[in-house]
Structure 1
């Protein structure tokens, strides 16, 4: 991803912009969790939107960025009419903060745009526009959750690489497990130190989530020497598709369901992951997601 200039040489204009992005004073900036999957259809967006909603219900300020650009639908699950989206930001009409829309369930979401093929392959200039805009939007938030596109495209890997932590959503299907490993492998080769957490969705019997995780962990240990973190599983619950149809997160519409109870347990484990910021104050840190995205662009 070295399209900002060759390594080892003096950076050009884009490179200087990327490098200067990290020269900022510590501020209250969110912990960033990128939610991803190796293939589509794992329930990634449903999990991400419900996690964001549950965090808001617990009193946290949550920014939600739909990074599945061009075919985005997270705003629908959060009950939002997307009269603004990332398309207007990249067109220079509004800022990222101005594009953020309030969900009736708490999160502030920047919709990723739908049916716009150009959004699936951003240029370096467009990525840097986003990187510069993130600071104004994310400052003061507790969490930034990114719902990333499934798979291992260059664009997806860039978004994932700049996050604090990665949450991989898979399910018991063999192809989902195989593609989850492929995603983890690509990210591990780029950043061996990245923390990867796994949630198994659509669990059909007690203990299946642990079985699926152990299969993925076994392959990662053998071929990558990488340890993963198991966050838990979500049951194959009829309340989930009902909530999607109603455009109401199941943690709101069916808070006593098995899916909601499992999601809350996963949320508690996620809260335990957040490190203290600079000077020991949670959330106070020298750089946010935008600065890290600019640095990832430099490659």
Structure 2
């Protein structure tokens, strides 16, 4: 515990302007959490400090994909039983994570103490890390939409299946209705061919442009790859276990595409934007 606390203290000494990213999908089973973890690993490989927050309510699996055992969850912190340093788990030297836990649904029943502790946690996280990756549960809830409304970027994961595409579009529509200015990126996962992936991505992009007046950023696609399934079975990241696998190379390319578009002027950014947005949004539901 002492080493973890020291690690967090050292991170606090370096003032950062973090980028908060929500990874979402319209339905389960499209590889969203696999993307979140491997995308995070590739960001870390570029030298960034990363924290993954598992927001898959009641069905969190980030720690399983990482091959880790999570002692505590975010709900343990929100309930006041533990401090933030207790629930932040270390995966690699520059990747930490927070488990959502099976009791996460209780957070929907807000009380002032939980609200304040949540804001305090996110405020500390944005000072300690370069990127906060929120791995969201599939589908839309009032809680998840409120959080997504405050984040910097949204990455939407879909497969080429018509139902996945339709559900991905529905999620984008939900988010766009609440905040038309939100940055949204799209990734096609488990594509059998490059043409199939491109058709799916451009279909989503053109549909969003036509019906939502929304410009989506295409990050790329990830092919169907047996190495992904093998890595999950071994509870390892495919980006670590199979460095030359097609899926690994695809996520590397997607990560580079994403970071190359991040041109932040530190003098112009509001370091408290994320927290202020959360305060404004969540305060609407407090009596």
Q: Quick check: TM above 0.5?
A: yes
1:84-139 CA-to-partner distances (Å, cap 9, x unmatched) read 1112111112233431100147411010003x363473425334421122112331
Which residues in structure 2 correspond to 1:28-67 (within 5 Å)? 28-67=16-55
Q: Could you tell me which of 272, 275, 282 is aligned with 1:287?
A: 272
Cα distance in 1 for residues equivalent to 2:233 and 2:93: 16
Structure 1 counterpart of 2:139:
151
Q: 91-100 or 244-253, which moves further after superposition?
A: 91-100
Structure 2 counterpart of 1:297:
282
- Aligned 8 A contact 1:135 1:290 in 2: yes
After the TM superposition, which segments of 4 or more aligned residues of structure 1 sit over 4 Å from their partners? none
Gaps of 5+ in 2: 1-14
Gaps of 5+ in 1: 1-26
Structure 1 counterpart of 2:186:
198
Secondary structure at the residue paired with 1:65? strand
- Aligned 8 A contact 1:42 1:201 in 2: yes
Aligned Cα root-mean-square deviation (Å): 1.8
Structure 2 counterpart of 1:18:
none
Secondary structure at the residue paired with 1:151? coil
Cα distance in 2 for residues equivalent to 1:297 and 1:189: 17
Cα distance in 1 for residues equivalent to 2:261 and 2:17: 16
Cα distance in 2 for residues equivalent to 1:224 and 1:242: 39
Structure 1 counterpart of 2:252:
264
Q: CA deviation at 1:296?
A: 2.3
Secondary structure at the residue paired with 2:272? coil
- Aligned 8 A contact 1:79 1:103 in 2: no
Q: 212-221 or 259-268, which moves further after superposition?
A: 212-221
Structure 2 counterpart of 1:9:
none
Structure 2 counterpart of 1:246:
234
TM-score (norm 2): 0.88
- Aligned 8 A contact 1:64 1:144 in 2: yes
Residues 1:121 and 2:108 are matched in the alignment: yes
Cα distance in 1 for residues equivalent to 2:98 and 2:109: 16
Which residues in structure 2 correspond to 1:149-228 (within 5 Å)? 149-228=137-216
Structure that is richer in helix per residue:
2
Which residues in structure 2 correspond to 1:91-130 (within 5 Å)? 91-104=79-92, 106-114=94-102, 116=103, 118-119=105-106, 121-123=108-110, 125=112, 126-130=114-118
Q: CA deviation at 1:285?
A: 4.0
Secondary structure at the residue paired with 2:267? helix
